[in-house]
């Protein structure tokens, strides 16, 4: 079923928050996230004639555009020559990520849980967000990210294990978990 | 791996942690405006055209006839049944409970406003309701002229505490409900008529929200859906015991 431009626009714009949340997880930066969301909408709108309203609607289609756009940009950036300081930052381990986290959206949240989640690898965060917050099915996630369903499952399990590991100290401090 | 096994996997602790951290994050109004503007500009220049026009392709006539038949079939299926205007699923028990609470509260003549909150202070009302419900609630005026706000309070919907706002116009009333996400197990948007009451709502990661109009109102499900769409942006989130919430979530995640 093909949609009119107006119908397509309405359906697509309803997903702005979803795309923004995903872009934030992938880019770690508000401006880059906003840029990615805009570019995603632009590409989606240009290609709207190729979109077909199938079983899962527009969400996996938009997520796939954003995902591909982000990773093709990242690949391009990796091929660019880097200044010394930037290369040195690559040596920082994932647990030492120094990028600031905007806590204004997390009023009801302890900073450490946010940090633990934000320090997971992009691939894990992507799957976690789509599964837990956006309530995608495994099949929708697999379709969106172009990976087998088994990979979706294993990323969820690994994300959980990594998160538990990172939260152990916090749990001990708070008396949630005994030594 | 069997598909049944895939469906059965559940991890409430992990899900809750992700929702606590990320679900409230929304894009800025500025970004929303920029995207809308970009799309409007793109609409003027037009999309990239597909390689060949439909009518230039072989068997186009047959395909067109098939499409007409399909569309007719869908139209008959969607709108053929008497009084069936539902566009998406809503649990019938939940729908019946919403109508029951709407009728009960609207026919009661006592106050429906939380104590010590002025009727025109939707922000304070929203914060108080959100604190009690531990989730976002809709708290705003009904975006259509002629409706007078009667008040907002916590009311049970089928035994589940819910935030309930009532608006009156003559003898007709509209209820705006904000309920926990747990009342319905999947995200949905719907508009329908239940026991002669027009109803329009949505369920997303923040909760379940529904507008119900009286059987004597002149509102159609479509008009109610338009009001729902305009009110959707009016959710209010209050802070509530963050440390306890985090502790519980981490405990759930680690055990």
pLDDT tens, position by position, A70-126: 999 887 776 665 443 333 333 333 333 323 223 233 333 456 777 789 889 999 999
| Same structural domain, A77 and A19 | yes
**What's the confidence (pLDDT) of residue B176?**
96
In a domain, A88, yes or no: no
Mark whether A76 and A99 lie in a shared domain.
Answer: no
Domain containing residue B151: CATH number: 3.30.200.100
Tell me if B19 is assigned to some domain: no
User: What region does A17 belong to: left with phi over 0, alpha with psi -120 to 50, or beta?
Assistant: alpha
A11 interfacial to chain B (CB closer than 8 Å): no
Are residues A102 and A54 part of one domain? Answer: no
Q: Considering Cα of A113, then A115, then A119, then A123, what sign does the dihedral take?
A: positive
> Pick from B35, B250, B251: which is nearest to A38 by CB?
B35
The reported pLDDT for the residue numbered A54 is 65
Question: How many CA atoms lie less than 13 Å away from B47 in the CB half-sphere?
Answer: 21
pLDDT along chain B (255 residues), means of 10: 52 86 80 86 61 48 54 42 47 89 85 81 87 83 92 83 90 93 81 93 88 92 92 73 69 79
pLDDT for the residue B81: 37
With a cut of 0.90, is the ipTM above it? no
| Percent of chain A whose predicted confidence (pLDDT) is above 90 | 41
Instruction: Tell me if B20 is assigned to some domain.
Output: no
Do residues B153 and B104 touch, judged by C-beta distance below 8 A?
A: no
Q: DSSP string of B29-72? A: HHHHHHHHHHHHHHHHH-PPPPSS-GGGSTTHHHHHHHHHHHHH
Whole-Å CA distances, B44 to A9, B38, B238: 13, 10, 41
Q: Is A31 on the interface with B (CB under 8 A)?
A: no
Q: pLDDT tier at A172 (50, 70, 90 boundaries)?
A: confident
Give the helix/strand (H/E) hosting B228: helix B221-231
C-alpha to C-alpha distance for A4 and A6, rounded to whole angstroms: 5
Rounded to the nearest 10°, the torsion over CA A126, A59, B21, B204 is -150
Determine, yes or no, domain membership for A59.
Answer: yes
Euclidean distance between CA atoms A33 and A18, whole angstroms: 12
Number of domains into which chain A is organized: 2
- Which residues numbered 45-104 in A keep a CB inside 8 Å of some CB on B? 45-50
State how far residue A113 is from chain B, nearest Cα, in angstroms: 7
- Residues A69 and A99 both lie in one domain: no
The parent domain of residue A52 ranges over 1-81
Residues paired with residue B179 on neighbouring β-strands, in sequence order:
B208
Residue A117 in domain: yes
B120: closest CA of chain A, how far (Å): 25
Q: Which of A31, A34, A109 to probe the B interface (max B CBs under 10 A)?
A: A109
Domain boundary among A20, A46, A81: A81
**CB A50 within 8 Å of CB A61:** no
* Chain B positions in Cβ-Cβ contact with residue A113 (cut-off 8 Å): 17, 20-21, 246, 249-250
CATH number at residue A125: 1.10.10.10
Task: For residues A52 and A15, state if they share a domain.
Answer: yes
**Is residue B171 included in any domain, yes or no?**
yes
The whole-number pLDDT of residue B186 equals 78
Sheet of strand B172-179: strand arrangement: B148-157, B160-169, B172-179, B207-213, B197-204, B188-194
What is the CATH number for A23? 1.10.1740.10
Is residue B153 domain-resident? yes
Among A58, A81, A104, identify where a domain stops: A81
**B58 within domain boundaries:** no
Q: Which domain holds residue B147?
A: 92-242
Nearest CA in chain A to B16: A132
Question: What are the two backbone dihedrals, phi and then psi, of residue B29, each rounded to the nearest 5 degrees?
Answer: -65, -35
How far is Cα B103 from Cα B164, in angstroms, rounded to an integer? 12
pLDDT at B64: 55
Q: Does residue B1 lie in a domain region?
A: no
Domain contains B165: yes
In terms of domains, do A6 and A66 share one? yes
CA of A15, closest CA in chain B: separation in Å?
10
Q: Distance between CA B137 and CA B207 in Å, rounded?
A: 8
In the prediction, which pLDDT does A177 show? 63
Domain assignment present for residue A151? The answer is: yes
Q: Measured between alpha carbons, how far is B198 from B85 in angstroms, rounded to an integer?
A: 9
Q: Which of A81, A113, A134 is the last residue of a domain?
A: A81
- Looking at the structure, do residues A106 and A76 belong to the same domain, yes or no? no
- Inform me whether the pLDDT recorded for A18 exceeds 50: yes
My answer on whether A100 and A176 are in the same domain is: yes
| SS3 state at A107 | coil
> Cα(A167)–Cα(A117) distance, rounded to whole angstroms?
10
**One domain for residues A73 and A103:** no
Query: What's the structural domain count of chain B?
Result: 1
């Amino acid at each position: 079923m093909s949609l009119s431009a107006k119908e397509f626009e309405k359906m697509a714009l309803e997903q702005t928050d979803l795309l923004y949340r995903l872009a934030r997880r992938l880019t770690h930066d508000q401006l880059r996230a906003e840029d990615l969301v805009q570019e995603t909408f632009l590409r989606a709108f240009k290609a709207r004639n190729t979109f077909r309203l199938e079983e899962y609607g527009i969400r996996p289609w938009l997520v796939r555009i954003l995902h591909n756009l982000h990773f093709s940009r990242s690949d391009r950036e990796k091929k660019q020559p880097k200044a010394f300081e930037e290369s040195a930052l690559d040596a920082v381990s994932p647990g030492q990520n120094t990028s600031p986290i905007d806590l204004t959206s997390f009023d009801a949240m302890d900073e450490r849980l946010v940090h633990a989640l934000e320090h997971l690898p992009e691939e894990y965060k992507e799957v976690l967000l789509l599964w837990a917050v956006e309530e995608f099915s495994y099949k929708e996630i697999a379709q969106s990210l172009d990976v087998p369903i088994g990979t979706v499952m294993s990323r969820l399990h690994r994300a959980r294990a990594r998160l538990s590991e990172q939260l152990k100290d916090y749990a001990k401090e708070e008396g949630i978990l005994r030594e | 791996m069997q598909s049944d096994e895939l469906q059965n996997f559940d991890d409430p602790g992990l899900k809750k942690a992700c929702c606590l951290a990320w679900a409230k994050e929304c894009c800025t109004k500025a970004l929303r405006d920029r995207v809308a503007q970009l799309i409007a500009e793109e609409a003027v220049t037009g999309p990239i055209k597909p390689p060949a026009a439909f009518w230039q392709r072989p068997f186009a006539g047959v395909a067109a006839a098939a499409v007409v038949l399909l569309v007719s079939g869908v139209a008959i299926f969607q709108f053929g049944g008497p009084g069936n205007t539902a566009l998406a699923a809503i649990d019938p028990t939940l729908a019946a409970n919403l109508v029951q609470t709407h009728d009960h509260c609207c026919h009661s003549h006592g106050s429906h406003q939380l104590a010590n909150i002025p009727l025109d202070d939707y922000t304070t009302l929203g914060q108080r309701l959100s604190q009690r419900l531990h989730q976002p609630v809709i708290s705003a005026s009904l975006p259509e002229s002629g409706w007078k706000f009667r008040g907002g309070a916590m009311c049970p919907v089928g035994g589940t505490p819910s935030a309930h706002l009532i608006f009156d116009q003559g003898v007709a009333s509209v209820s705006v409900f904000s309920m926990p996400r747990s009342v319905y197990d999947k995200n949905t948007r719907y508009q329908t008529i239940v026991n002669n009451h027009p109803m329009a709502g949505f369920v997303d990661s923040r909760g379940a929200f529904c507008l119900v109009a009286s059987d004597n109102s002149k509102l159609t499900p479509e008009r109610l859906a338009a009001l729902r769409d305009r009110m959707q942006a009016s959710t209010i989130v209050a802070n509530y015991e963050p440390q306890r919430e985090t502790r519980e979530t981490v405990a759930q995640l680690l055990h």
